[in-house]
Structure 1
Amino acid sequence: MATLITGGAGFVGLEVARQLLAAGETEITVFSRNPSPARLGDLTDRVTAVAGDVGNYSHVLDVVKASKAEVIYHLGAMLSVPSDADPASAIQTNAMGTFYVLEAARLFDVRQVIFSSSIGTYGYDIEGGELTDTALQRPSLFYGATKAFGEHMGLVFKRKYGLDFRGIRYPSVIGPGVTTPGMVQYTSWMIEESAKGNPFTVWTTPETRVPIMYITEAATATVQLAQAPLENIKMVNYLVDGMKPTPNAGELAEAVRARIQNAQIDFVPDPSRPMLHGRSQTIDDSCAREEWGWQPTHDLARMIDDFLAALS
């Protein structure tokens, strides 16, 4: 089966490609701004790499046609901090880019599109702090707004054209090699910088609690969603969660200190991110669990251990 991964040289995209290859898939096209051997690493000779911009319609049409994809994992996007710094580019990349992928899928008879979304589609004012698949989406940032738009475009393409569209709303995804700034990227950098022997300042309060999952779990959930029987897919856009209970930033720091001798982690809340401080959110991912069998695999200790093993 031919598969196309937009953003395939990115954080989650690389792990999705790796898991698909491990499962025996051989026709994988990675589409990204810079799918260089330095980015692809051990995958360089195992995938077809195509450089391009998901916000450029011609690039998207060309790669969808050339790849002969039956399934597209649409993972390419600008993240939260860059999106808020440059809303016009975020709209072009995230909103129009998603439209281009969906329209190309329709034109070239692609069977399925898997869309990477985010808990950022909900904003920070959910009553009770628990996110559910049916909670009202009122995003606080441009990133979340573009992702919510992408989800709803996908629903229209599903209803109007019969495209097998499915969306997955990630929490904060933790793993080594995160380079793009985000609202909650401290969850990864706290571990990686401590492992390098560098002090790290967390820009929120110890009480701040955001849902997290490890990178391999995020990729596994994405592939599992794609492979679920169509008749099981009712909600279409799904929340997924990692470890439960969700640790707060202080508990994460303590777990890092327990595994990395002399880790220097302190907390200095950033006044430019007031909506984050003291935030306490949890996820109800019961639809993903019931409809396609999602089950997280990592607790906090295993996540940190796997993170450190990947770094070494």
Structure 2
Amino acid sequence: MRGRVSCWLVWCRDFGRRVRSLVSFWTSTFPFENRGQNLERRGFVMEPRSVLVTGGGGFIGKHLRPLLERQGLNVVSLDYRPAQPGSDPTCYQCDITDSQEVEAIFRTHRFEAVIHLASILPTASRQDPHKATKVNIAGSLNLLEAARRFQVNRMIYASSVSVYGTQPASSCVSEDQPSAPEDVYGAAKRYVEVLGEAYQLNFGVEFLALRIAMVVGPGTISATSPWRNQIFEYLGRAPQKEVLIP
């Protein structure tokens, strides 16, 4: 089975509902094993099923963790930023370009899946393409390799519509649209998609890439365009206003 790609657009108006849909999509696409329940019936005590979320301190990661926990999953998150005071002890500060740091987390926890959100975003990628390539490609490779070595069942990867390059404003992009990235960020995202497919074909690590579009909403911290965040912060504070995005 080849790796799969899906397109997603997340916007401010009903972000919570769309993240819940995203969780439902992930868990239905790659249903987590019920072997823990089976063993419990036979008298064994199993630890909760564990999922690793990289980029857990980011906008999507902060919304995703509680939703996964309500699905009965034990969530471990990592981010390059230090954990906030009072954070869950399973929130780690980690540089994913350091394979030893990544391996230490995989040795500490037994993961059934990895949801890989960590990334250097487009503006920062243009400012420092070397760092962006190191994080977005080499960091992703470290996670794929750890998943292979520690027999993690699957990885779900936050790719981007940037893999399509510039498209006419009037066009509707489908999953069959040829990829034509035009910047370092898009090229790195496409590279990891291909790399993930190779790991699935050769090593059995199930891989799904979601080509996510613009992610905005109250509380967004984005390296893409600060002015856009200000607009949505303002609109988000006015519940009587309806945000319409074509």
Length-normalised TM-score, structure 2: 0.73
Residue number in structure 2 paired with 1:191 = 232
Q: How does 1:35-54 map to 2 (within 5 A)?
A: 35-37=82-84, 44-45=87-88, 48-54=90-96
Q: Percent identity?
A: 26
| Contact 2:98 2:139 (8 Å CA) reproduced | yes
The corresponding residue for 1:28 is: 75
Kept in 2, the 8 Å contact 1:172–1:187? The answer is no
Query: C-alpha distance in 1, partners of 2:179/2:227?
Result: 24
Displacement of 1:28:
1.4
Match of 1:114 among 156, 172, 182: 156
Aligned to 2:215, what secondary structure does the other structure show? strand
Give the residue type in structure 1 aligned to 2:220: V
Task: Note the C-alpha offset of 1:125.
Answer: 3.8
CA distance in 2, matches of 1:126, 1:194: 27
Question: Unpaired runs of 5+ in structure 2?
Answer: 1-48
Root-mean-square deviation (CA), in Å?
Answer: 2.5
Aligned-pair CA distance for 1:127: 9.5
SS in 2 for 1:138: coil
- 1:2 aligned residue: 50
Q: How does 1:154-173 map to 2 (within 5 A)?
A: 154-173=196-215
Q: Cα offset for 1:30?
A: 0.9
Question: Aligned match of 1:150 in 188, 192, 198?
Answer: 192
The C-alpha deviation readout for 1:101-155, integer Å capped at 9, x for no partner, is: 1011000000010100011111104696221112111112211111111111011
Give SS of 1:50's match.
strand
Distance in 2 (alpha carbons) for counterparts of 1:131 and 1:114: 21
CA distance in 2, matches of 1:111, 1:194: 41
Amino acid at match of 1:8: G
Q: Is the 8 A contact 2:154 2:206 kept in 1?
A: yes
Counterpart Cα distance in 2 of 1:102 and 1:195? 37
CA separation of 1:195 and 1:151: change in aligned 2, threshold 3 A: closer
Q: Is the 8 A contact 1:111 1:164 kept in 2?
A: yes
Give distance in 2, aligned partners of 1:5 and 1:166. Answer: 14
**What is the TM-score when the length of structure 1 is the normalising length?**
0.58
1:62 paired with 2:62, answer no
Q: Which residue of 2 is the match for residue 14 of structure 1?
A: 62
Length, aligned pairs only = 197
Task: State how far apart, in whole Å, the 2-side matches of 1:51 and 1:61 are.
Answer: 13
